[in-house]
Structure formats: structure tokens, C-alpha cells
Amino acid sequence: MNFQPGTIGEGAAAADPRPHLVVVGNGMAGCRAVEELLARDPHRYRVTIFGAESHVNYNRIMLSPVLAGEKTFDEIVINDAAWYRDNQIELVSSDPVIAINRAGRTVTSRSGRTLGYDKLLIATGSDPFIIPVPGKDLPGVISFRDMNDVDAMLAAAGKGGDAVVIGGGLLGLEAAHGLTLRGMKVTVLHLMPTLMERQLDEAAGWLLKSALEARGQTILTGADTAEILGTDAVEGVRLKDGSVIPASLVVMAVGIRPSTALAREAGLAVGRGIQVDDHMVTSDADVLAVGECVEHAGQVYGLVAPLWEMCRALADGLVEKHSGYTGSVTSTKLKVSGIDVFSAGDFSGGDGAEDIVLRDASRGVYKRVVVKDDRIVGAVLYGDTGDGGWYFDLLKRQEDVSQLRDMLIFGQAFAQGGGAADPKAAVAALSDDAEICGCNGVTKGQVVGCIEKGACSLDAVRAGCKASASCGSCTGLVENLLAVTLGDAVQAGPKTMCRCTSFGHDDIRREIVAQGMRSIPEVMQMLHWSTPDGCSSCRPALNYYLLCALPGDYVDDQQSRFVNERMHANIQKDGTYSVVPRMWGGLTNPTELRAIADVVEKFNAPMVKVTGGQRLDIFGIRKEDLPAVWADLNAAGMVSGHAYGKSLRTVKTCVGSEWCRFGTQDSTGLGVKLERGFWGSWMPHKFKMAVSGCPRNCAEATIKDFGVVCVDSGYELHVGGNGGIHVRATDLLVKVTTETEAMHYAAAFVQLYREEARYLERTAPWIERVGLQHIKDRVVEDVEGRDALAARFWHSQTFSQEDPWAERVAGAAREQHAHMAAFKPLAVEEMA
């Protein structure tokens, strides 16, 4: 993405009238600030970002895992080239800004390019501190700051040999760890008596030192570097006490300094860092600064969490919303696999501070919590850092811990739950602004928000709010949050479809349509199913969703249907089947009755029963005989009644105006029309209709999925009734005046149910879940939407009104009925 000289500030820029925001620094803070801005108002500024590095925006703190070989560079990219493109951000990489002209409001880059700005954001981060000893400029002496440094270390490690890491802080130890894993013999030189003395107390530092030595590193504390030896390249390090350590690579990781040169030369107020106010504005109102290069209220920060808070305040300011940054308390974790170290706040003790310490030598656990005036002021954890987030949260909130004091050191589960070590209860108890993901600065509130917006898997949370998307040390917390959040919302919110997936029904349906998926294996592949081919819960659901989404196109998967639908008959407890032929609107005639009687006799059916839906049910048919039964019924003009299916079953009617003295309309006639129009349509669950000729309601239309009650002035359309385990009377959807309208609304309603209800959800729970108003909005208020729904329904019906019995009689899927082979064991014996 390098620019050719002379292209900048012309062309596209001239055509873009928006104020120009120029960002110096394509690092963590600079890009995050832009992300925050885009989230608030994607169109307000035209954005150009200058980066000294040749890369897109990556997660700098993950350089340690890259060095250790636990991640690749691609895995730590935060925003790839497509992000810049999609957001119309110009990225000028490998071209650092070398001067700012505040009077002319321009910046100039090393390649000589000058570019005007309306707002300038400086996010230049830090420069590594190089101790001024002889030999510091020799080839083979590097810092640990960016991807180039990692590449240099990897090149050196490829040759093997000795490495010296100067600095036993967070960065130095992570470098030493990576180099050790890459096969180098590593010596760590640390000036202070204990490692990570700014984060760890002596005891924890000592534990850490022993653990690292056990991994083969040499740790020299109290080691003061005098000189780096070598002529053309590094050969070793000499300490002030005279000892010499051979080395072909020296990594300097002794500290960082805010990168302020550019700002200083431009005349901005600079202390230890570039001075900013609560909205990250520098001494020049049009110049902002954010990240490690700034000084806020006398503080500079060297960790990412505070940067995120700064970026939020900055973006709010840029869109004229005033929140403001008020400083941060920080915590640290060491990213050395297998060694858990956590520290937060101030643990130096001092007046009135009390220490609560727990040591468990055999488990290698050390915990220390520093309490002052009943508030936690610091914590150091070694070996078991699971409660780090909780201590840090109590610390930030300045919570009074006097009640918890006795049990504080045993951790959250113990202190709050009386011993039940339930990690879910632990995350549930965290406050909303407790930090979950340090790498990406995501709080519990943000993760929960993301889950509530529909992310119901780890991947979805990672994609949605980035929590756990980097080093992964917070994955357990995120998983517990998922469990806690979705667990609470089991009735209301999205629940996963089954154990094969972490997505809920609604997500899956949406993705099927959005991504145009066309088969069950494709859905399972794209949505990361955890089983090879699903289970008996998800397969029928997916089959239905695809069928509904792609009428006429999708090839039904027989093996993903429950036996009843596969056999087009109802399985009974003895393994035989019952068969229900369709009787339109509940009407029949002598031919049909005769055919049924003949079938009963011919196949010795032990029972015939009138169903609740006014049809005749023939029991006790063997699987092998089903095709013959259907053939006989088909011959008399009868088709499958779908009494076995998640589909339209029956339309119950009364006799209405034709015979009944109360009847207001032809309820029987309308019932027949409905059944002829709607039969064969697959649904999320079984679906029943009824039409009553007057409010006496002899057809019990008000406990059906769709019921019509005829009245003098027309037709009342009712929905969501259910006579099942939980009896539910219908809600009145609308009143219409003609049969045609009644049919039209019915089609729209059915299609809405087909498209939006979850598989195996009948209309009653569906309506209670989404609310009647939603259905009215879609089917009654929205005229165009109603027409579109109905059109989709009738389109789908052109494919679904094939009698499955007739297809089988014609020979389809014959193997479903015939035995594969048969044995007579005695004969077999004889043959043998």
C-alpha cells in the first residue's frame, strides 16, 4: 500500500470535502482511535494514517507469542488491508512523518511528501531505551519493539548459539522465553536483585526466577552491563564485575521512552510525554495525541488497557460528545506459557498497608493482596492467577473489603460463595467495567453486550468485540460469560441449537440466507459444527431451514428427517404405522369410505379411528405394506394427510351456512379451499387450521394455529391457538370481509411462521416469544410485506404439493420399505 510520491492530497482528496484527519503512527493506539471514531461516525472524517513500519495494524503485545512460535504474524493482524480499503482509509506505510508544520497545518514525511490536515493525531508510541554502553550499535544488538525486531531475533535464533537479554522485566522475560523455545542458550541480565521488580514483590520474583532457571535459562540478577563486545558483530557482554558472557545476539529490553521528538520539534507541550488534556487534546487544539507517547495528569503508560480508555475519550471528543479520560490503574500478566504471573496496583506496602499472604509451596502458588483502609491497593499472584480479575476489579472500584477480609486471599469463589468454587458465579459477580480481555481492552459489559446482540459462541464473541481474540488467556472467562449470559436467557434469548454448534436457531437461519448456503454439510462446515454429521436435533432443523429458504432448489435430505416424515406415516409403539388419508375440510364420500374399508380388510388393520381433526386413521400397518396401502388409497383419489409431518395437517370445519341454522358463511367451503391451498407445505412444527361458521365455534377454531370464525360481516382471523399440553386460545389477528382476503392473510401468516419460527416451535410459543404486535406489524400493518410474504408462500407451494404417497407408490425410495435380505437360519446352517 505504498504511495507514489505526489499522489497524496490530490485526486480522491480533492473530491472529498470532509475534514481531513491525519494519524501519525499505525500502531495499537492510532488504529484503535480510528476504529472508535468509525464506530461513532463512520463518515465524519477523511482519514490518512502514516506508519513507519511496513505492516498493516497488528497486535503488538502478541509479538511475544510470535517470537515463541505460538502464533504467526497473520494471526496477530488486527486490521487487514481490506479494513483500510472498506473504510476508505489511506495507509501510508514505511514512510514516517518527520515534521509537523502547525502554522500551515501540514505534515511532511521522510519521502518528502507534504499533506494538509484539519485534525492531526499523534500516536507514535514509544522508543526502546538503549543503554549507552560501548558496542551498543554493533550488528546483533536489537530491541524488542516491532515485527522487524522479531524477524531479526528469528534469523539469529536460526543459527543457534548464545543470546543475552538485558532486562528482566516483562518484555525481557518474554524475549528470553521465545529465544529459549527457538533453541538458543539464553542468559538474562537484570540490574535489580529480583526479576520484574516493578510488578512483583521479592517472593514472587524469586519463584519466577527458579521457574525460569528450571527451563534452562541463566538468570543473573544484580548484573550491570559495562560493554558489548565485538568488532564486526556482537560477540559477548562484559559486566562491571569483569565477567564475560558470550553472545551472538543481544536483546535490549530495559525500558521504553515515549516517542516525543516529533511533537517537541513542532513546539507542542511535552513533559515526559506529549501533554494532553482529558480529551487527548495537546497544547494545540487541532492536534491530538494518544497512546504510549502521551502524558496525562503527570502519568505515562506502557500497557494497552489505558490506551483503550484514552481512545474512547478521544473519539467521543472528535464527534463532540464529551466523556473524558480520567487516568487508569493497570495490571500486568506475563505471557510466558506455563508460568502464571499477575500483578496490579501498588504492592510496595508503606504506612497503614497490610499484607495478606498465602504460600503453598507444594503447588508453587504465592498470593499477596495489599489492603489499606479496607480497600485493596495492590495484588501479586504467582502460580494461580485465576482471581486476578476479581482483585483488580475490587481495586479499581475501591470496594470496601472489610467483610471479606478473612477469606479474601482464598479467592472469589471462597470469599463470596462459601467454598463453592464455581467459576461461573465468579464472572457473574464481576462488575460491568471489569476488564475481561487485557489484550484488546474489552470489559465485561462489552462482552455481555456482544453476547446479547446475538453472539452465542466463542468465535462470535471474538469476531464481535475481540475479547479473547488475541493471546487467549481470557478464553475461560469469556466462555463462562457466555454460559452465564445465555444461561439466564434460556427462555428469552438465543440458545444454541444443539450440542453440535454454538449458534442459536435464529443465527443459523440468518446465516443460511445471508451466506447463501445450500446444503446441510455446507452449513456444518461454514458454521464450525463440532460433530461430523450433526445429531437428531440439528439435522431435521437444518433440513427444514434449507427447504424453507430454497423452495424448489434444495434437495430434501431423507436421512435428516424423523421416521414419520421419512415413512410418510406415523410410527406407533409396536413399530407399525398408522395412515391418515386427506379428507378435504373433513368431508368424505362413499368411494373414499369404501377404499378405506377395503384397505382395513385387506391389510388386517386392527383399528380405524376418527381423529380430533375429523379424519380417519388406519392403524397397524407394517412398513413393508405401506406402499401397497397408499396405492389403494391413491386409486380412490385420496392423498396423504400429512398427519405425520411438520406441515399442514388438517382444516377442521363445521357445517356453516349450508346446513346450520346459525351459520353465517360457508365455513365448510372455506375450509376445503384452505386445505387445498395449504396442504403439503412444510412448517417448523405441525400446523392445524379450523373454520367455524359462527361464534358458537363448533370447529374449535380458537385453539388452532390458524382459525377462522365467520361472522355476519365477514371473517375473524385468529392465530396462535393450541390444544396441546398448554392450552392456549388464539389471538385475534384481523377481521376481513371476503374469503379471498382470508386466504391472502392466511398465506402471509403461514409464511411468516415458516420463515421466522424456530424448528419445533409451534405458533403458540412463537407468538408469545415474538409478541402479537410483531405479527400484526408484519401481516396486517405492512401491506407490501404481507403481499411479499404471501407471494413467497404461493411460490413455495408450487413445489411442495406433490403427494408423497404417490411418489413412493411410483417407486421412489423403495429401499425404505423393502428388506435388504432375509435369512432362514436353518437353511443357512444346511448350506454351510
Instruction: Establish if 660 lies at the interface with ligand SF4 (CB under 6 A).
Output: yes
Report what 588 binds from ligand FAD, other proteins, ligand SF4, none; CB cut-off 5-8 Å by kind: none
Site string for ligand SF4, 620-659 (x = CB under 6 A): ----------------------------------xxx---
Give the 3-state secondary structure of residue 501. Answer: coil
Instruction: Establish if 575 lies at the interface with other proteins (CB under 8 A).
Output: yes
Q: Which stretch binds ligand SF4 (CB under 6 A): 137-145, 377-385, 456-464, 661-669?
A: 661-669
- In the bound complex, which residue of the shown chain has the CB atom lying closest to ligand FAD? 27
C-alpha span between 127 and 255 (Å, rounded):
9
Q: What are the residues whose beta carbons fall under 8 Å from the beta carbon of 517, sequence distance 6 or more?
A: 511, 523, 526, 546
Which C-beta is closer to ligand FAD: that of 261 or that of 429? 261
Contacts to ligand FAD by CB under 6 A = 24-30, 50-53, 60-61, 63-64, 96-97, 123-125, 144-145, 171, 174, 259, 262, 291-293, 302-305, 307, 335, 438
Tell me how far apart the terminal alpha carbons of the chain are, to the nearest angstrom: 78
C-alpha span between 159 and 169 (Å, rounded):
26
Instruction: Establish if 668 lies at the interface with ligand SF4 (CB under 6 A).
Output: no
Q: Which residue has the cell 450433526?
A: 534
Closest by Cα among 292, 288, 255, 260 to 274: 260
Q: How far is the CB of 29 from ligand FAD (least distance, A)?
A: 3
Which amino acid, residue 753? Y
Report what 571 binds from other proteins, ligand SF4, ligand FAD, none; CB cut-off 5-8 Å by kind: other proteins
Q: How far is the CB of 173 from ligand FAD (least distance, A)?
A: 10
Rg (CA), the chain: 36
What is the 8-class DSSP label of residue 2?
A: P
Report what 656 binds from ligand SF4, ligand FAD, other proteins, none; CB cut-off 5-8 Å by kind: ligand SF4
Which C-beta is closer to ligand SF4: that of 120 or that of 698? 698
The residue from 101, 531, 591, 604 that contacts other proteins (CB under 8 A) is 531
Closest by Cα among 534, 819, 14 to 523: 534
Q: How far is the CB of 696 from ligand SF4 (least distance, A)?
A: 4
Strands 294-296 and 274-276: parallel
The residue from 167, 540, 581, 627 that contacts other proteins (CB under 8 A) is 540
Degrees to nearest 5, angle at CA 400 with 399 and 403: 130
- Report the half-sphere exposure of 370 (CA within 13 A, side-chain side): 17
Q: Which stretch binds other proteins (CB under 8 A): 232-240, 337-345, 452-460, 562-570?
A: 562-570
Nine-digit cell at 198?
Answer: 516493578
Report what 595 binds from ligand FAD, other proteins, ligand SF4, none; CB cut-off 5-8 Å by kind: none
C-alpha span between 176 and 222 (Å, rounded):
17
Q: How far is the CB of 38 from ligand FAD (least distance, A)?
A: 17
Report what 663 binds from ligand FAD, ligand SF4, other proteins, none; CB cut-off 5-8 Å by kind: ligand SF4
Nine-digit cell at 456?
Answer: 452465542
Which C-beta is closer to other proteins: that of 214 or that of 828? 828
For the segment 675-694, give every residue that binds ligand SF4 (CB under 6 A): 692-694
Q: Contact 572/586 with Cβ under 8 angstroms? A: no
Instruction: Establish if 356 lies at the interface with ligand SF4 (CB under 6 A).
Output: no
Report what 698 binds from ligand SF4, ligand FAD, other proteins, none; CB cut-off 5-8 Å by kind: ligand SF4
Q: Which residue has the cell 500497557?
A: 303
Q: What are the residues whose beta carbons fall under 8 Å from the beta carbon of 713, sequence distance 6 or more?
A: 735, 737
Instruction: Establish if 696 lies at the interface with ligand SF4 (CB under 6 A).
Output: yes
Which C-beta is closer to ligand FAD: that of 48 or that of 457? 48
Give the 3-state secondary structure of residue 279. Answer: coil
Beta bridge pairs of residue 91: 49
The residue from 106, 697, 800, 816 that contacts ligand SF4 (CB under 6 A) is 697
Give the 3-state secondary structure of residue 346. Answer: coil
Closest by Cα among 260, 346, 252 to 300: 260
Q: Which residue has the cell 516483562?
A: 170
HEC assignment per residue over 385-441: CCCHHHHHHHHHHCCCCCCCHHHHCCCHHHHHHCCCCCHHHHHHHCCCCCEEECCCC
Burial 511-526 (b: 16+ CB within 10 A, else e): bbeeeebeebeebbee
Instruction: Establish if 285 lies at the interface with other proteins (CB under 8 A).
Output: no
Instruction: Establish if 573 lies at the interface with other proteins (CB under 8 A).
Output: yes
The residue from 147, 535, 628, 734 that contacts other proteins (CB under 8 A) is 535
C-alpha span between 392 and 434 (Å, rounded):
8
Which C-beta is closer to ligand FAD: that of 343 or that of 640? 343
Which amino acid, residue 591? T
Which C-beta is closer to ligand FAD: that of 259 or that of 730? 259
The residue from 290, 341, 567, 698 that contacts ligand SF4 (CB under 6 A) is 698
The residue from 80, 476, 530, 662 that contacts ligand SF4 (CB under 6 A) is 662
Q: How many CB atoms lie within 10 A of CB 784?
A: 7
C-alpha span between 450 and 229 (Å, rounded):
54
Which C-beta is closer to ligand FAD: that of 24 or that of 548? 24
Q: How far is the CB of 23 from ligand FAD (least distance, A)?
A: 9
Tally of residues, the chain: 832
Q: How far is the CB of 832 from other proteins (least distance, A)?
A: 6
Q: How far is the CB of 412 from ligand FAD (least distance, A)?
A: 23
Q: Which stretch binds other proteins (CB under 8 A): 547-555, 607-615, 660-668, 813-821?
A: 813-821
Which C-beta is closer to other proteins: that of 400 or that of 556? 556
For the segment 711-770, give every residue that binds other proteins (CB under 8 A): none
C-alpha span between 199 and 344 (Å, rounded):
7
Residues that bind ligand SF4 (CB under 6 A): 654-656, 660, 662-663, 667, 692-694, 696-698
Binding site for other proteins (CB under 8 A): 531-536, 539-540, 558-564, 566-567, 571, 573-575, 623, 815, 819-826, 828-829, 831-832
